Amino acid sequence: MTLTETSAHDRQVAAWLLFCAAVVLGMILLGGVTRLTGSGLSIVEWKPLMGVVPPLTEEGWQETFDKYRQFPEYKKVNRGMSLEGFKSIFMFEYLHRLLGRLIGVLFLLPMLYFAWRGRIRQGLMPKLVVLFFLGGCQGLLGWYMVKSGLVDNPRVSQYRLTAHLGLAVAIYAWMVWLAFDLLFPASGREQSARPYGAWAGWLVALVYLMILSGGLVAGTRAGFAYSTWPLMGDSFIPRGLYAGTPAWLDMFEDITTVQFNHRIFAYLLVILIGVFATLVYRSGAGGHARLAAVLLVLALAVQVVLGISTLLLHVPVPLAAAHQGGAMLLLTAMLFAGHVVRKQ
């Protein structure tokens, strides 16, 4: 196989991976909308195969609705909901699950095709198999999360929600990184930015942790607690932080502490990413490094505006979904910057 053919195959595989990553991103955003609209517990059964087909008749819809009415969310939150109202929340959760199944097909079939045609470079196939396995685990984890809300307290566990989000984000990030490996092979052109490689790795980890902290905010509904900025209520550091017993548990369960920690994460990232992007831009590296620095700053600015707006406007669904998308945009920009300074 010639170098030109290998390069062409790498671009094809990279395009497929980026397409799959885009669908995973859509899955993450749809999951956020499902949670924000209170739709996540509308399907009370897990049918990996038969669940592909929604109710098709009025009798089928009534039967599905009757099953939902047996669970605490209907009895404690949505009592008196009409069948038409149920259909609207059902469809968000149904589409979320359907998209999850579609991702499996979109990933598996092209992977088998590329492997059969010998278009996957050596060493990449095991990573793709692991990605597919993680996708299957994500489906199981999603149902494990839903089960936590089909109990007396009709609200999913913030721990399981954050784990479900975290695995989806990890799958997305790995797909994007593998695509970057194929599209931007090591060239040694960005040597002057190479000293910032370790820093980039830590920043990717911090952005990921920031997204996880956002999962805790969503799971505890902490975003509704303080709709003011930069103060939380009447002070920057609110009363009651880490006041529980044990104190460390408050970072996962106390809404004041959870929101405060999310804000502090944001302030920290604004400083660290701002300094990192400035240093990379001024390092004298080539076009990719400077482009990465500019994109990173732009993504950071967009996310800051979205975050503050979501808070001040009391978490409207479209803006909150955009804020989640902004977090993924920032992660993608950070991954690109990290790839440039570490591998190019």
Please give the angle made by the CA atoms of 243, 234 and 311, to the nearest 5 degrees.
Answer: 90
* Mean pLDDT score, 97-119: 93
Query: What is the rounded distance in angstroms from the CA atom of residue 26 to the CA atom of residue 28?
Result: 5
Structural domain spans, the chain: 1-183, 186-344
279-288, 292-301, 327-336: which has the minimum mean pLDDT?
279-288
Q: Could you report the per-residue pLDDT of 36-48, keeping only the tens digit for each?
A: 988 888 888 877 7
pLDDT-derived band of residue 150, with 50, 70 and 90 as boundaries? confident
Tell me: pLDDT of 282 over 90.
Answer: no
- Establish whether the linkage from the previous residue to 230 is cis, with ω within 30° of 0: yes
pLDDT in the model for residue 110: 95
Q: What is the pTM of this model?
A: 0.94
Q: How far apart are the first and last CA of the chain?
A: 24
